[in-house]
Chain A
Amino acid sequence: MTHIHPLVAATGSTPFQLWAIGVAGVVVYARGPGREAWRRARDRRLHPARLARFTAVIMTVVAGAVIVTGMAATTKPRPVRPRAVVATVVDLDRAERRASFVLYDPVPGGADQLSPDALSGASY
């Protein structure tokens, strides 16, 4: 036979107290905002307002994709505009005369944009 110490032995009021606490917890849980949000999220039936918002988002995404794709297909590449600086070199024979030139950044594809008047290369 199990012996229960009198200090921890159940009294006649304990079951009622446990039930009261349990019911209070269920009420608080059921009325809490988190629970409500969870319930709405789990609700597979689409409310008209939600359906409208969902449709608007989809349409916005599709319209954006169409615009971006269309721009990529129709926009011409921007002309290459190399950076440039002006520099000078001195004529040894006439110190007052300087040859000035504008130096351009090497730009990939630049040859397609500006055709040079001459090509300096070593043939000799």
Chain B
Amino acid sequence: MGGRAQVKIIGNPDLADLAVQRVEHLEALWSRFRPDSEVSTANQDAGHPVAVSGETILLASLATRGQVLTSGRFDPLLGLSLAQLGYDRTFCEIGTSTPRSPVDLPAATVAALCIDAEAGTITVPSGHAFDPGGIGKGLAGDLVVANLLEAGADGVLVDLGGDVRVAGAGPTEAGWLIAVEDPLTEGAELLRLHLTDGAVASSSRLRRRWQQGAEERHHLLDPDTGRPSDNSVVGVSVVAANGWQAEVFAKDALLAGPRGAIAALEAQDVEGVVVLDDGRHLRTAGLSVLT
């Protein structure tokens, strides 16, 4: 999932192995950089139904749900645009390879995954590619936490590349202490909160940047243009009940721009902080009571 992962377990420490297995299993199912993953198979066979696991059915269902909830601003089918912009391999490999030349991007079109839960198949529409990206990390956190609690853990924290999901007992009565990073200043924090059951996810266009010809690219694409967003929002962190929701709504707010970001978060009944390129922070009501 393109980042570090940490799991903290209250209770049985032997469950750590299970956590690693589950994360690796989900990575093997959903990575678009592994040719044998279910997502890659579905993309290669776009336009045709592909048999996938229950986890991938759930991922596709929630991705489509996120697309509907955000009126299309969260679009999980921009994988082809990302690849054409140069993000067609793991980010580590981009950093060591020759910069790609710019390409003519296709016009963005509205499309959706076709999911047949009974048959256990998904169909990626032709001319598109499913990119689980952030929602994959968020949902993986949700699933791993649930698995570990079912296996007997008293409490769990799963941190997948900065997407944090907690549930069950915490190390203190107040829960797990989560710090939210300031995307503009390395090492600085925007806020801290004790979370007992829920998720915090962050998204920023200042990370995952690469050079394509003379142009600098980043991975957060505007579905209206198929190009990297260029509004003044540089980062969004969201507190939500689940990891997948936090990821979807962070992207939604980031693409909504400075005037629509807070309204987008409040419309979904989640809390969040929006960082603008001039250093200003905008917060939803629940996160601004102390400022």
Within 8 Å of chain A (Cβ to Cβ): is B287? yes
C-alpha gap A99/B193 in the complex (Å): 12
Given contacts A116-B177, A120-B201, contact A89 B239 (CB under 8 A): yes
Across the interface, name the chain B residue whose C-beta is closest to A100: B196
| Tally of A interface residues using CB under 8 Å | 34
Within 8 Å of chain A (Cβ to Cβ): is B148? no
Residue A85 contacts which of B176, B201, B289 (CB distance < 8 angstroms)? B289
Given contacts A105-B290, A123-B2, contact A89 B219 (CB under 8 A): no
Given contacts A89-B269, A93-B242, A100-B198, contact A116 B192 (CB under 8 A): yes
C-alpha gap A93/B65 in the complex (Å): 11
Chain B nearest CB, measured from A123 CB (Å) = 4
Task: Enumerate A84-111 residues with CB–CB distance to B below 8 Å.
Answer: 84-85, 87-93, 97-106, 110-111
Given contacts A117-B171, A117-B176, contact A122 B239 (CB under 8 A): no
Q: List 23 A-B contacts (CB under 8 A).
A: A85-B290, A87-B287, A89-B269, A89-B270, A89-B286, A91-B241, A92-B69, A99-B197, A101-B194, A101-B195, A102-B175, A103-B287, A104-B191, A104-B192, A104-B193, A115-B177, A117-B178, A118-B179, A120-B164, A120-B181, A123-B2, A123-B4, A124-B161
C-alpha gap A47/B89 in the complex (Å): 95
C-alpha gap A124/B195 in the complex (Å): 22
A6 contact set on B, CB distance < 8 A = none
Residue A124 contacts which of B3, B6, B200 (CB distance < 8 angstroms)? B3
Residue A100 contacts which of B190, B197, B202 (CB distance < 8 angstroms)? B197
Task: Enumerate B111-158 residues with CB–CB distance to A below 8 Å.
Answer: 133-134, 137, 157
Known: A87-B271, A103-B193, A120-B201; 6 extra A-B contacts, CB below 8 A, are A89-B198, A119-B162, A119-B178, A122-B207, A123-B207, A124-B163
B203 contact set on A, CB distance < 8 A = 122, 124
Are A117 and B157 in contact, CB atoms less than 8 angstroms apart?
yes
Chain A nearest CB, measured from B213 CB (Å) = 24
Are A101 and B179 in contact, CB atoms less than 8 angstroms apart?
no
A119 contact set on B, CB distance < 8 A = 159, 162, 164, 178-181
Residue A99 contacts which of B239, B287, B290 (CB distance < 8 angstroms)? B239
Within 8 Å of chain B (Cβ to Cβ): is A114? yes
Given contacts A85-B289, A100-B197, A123-B161, contact A106 B242 (CB under 8 A): no
Are B207 and A103 in contact, CB atoms less than 8 angstroms apart?
no
Residue A92 contacts which of B8, B192, B241 (CB distance < 8 angstroms)? B241
Are B290 and A83 in contact, CB atoms less than 8 angstroms apart?
yes
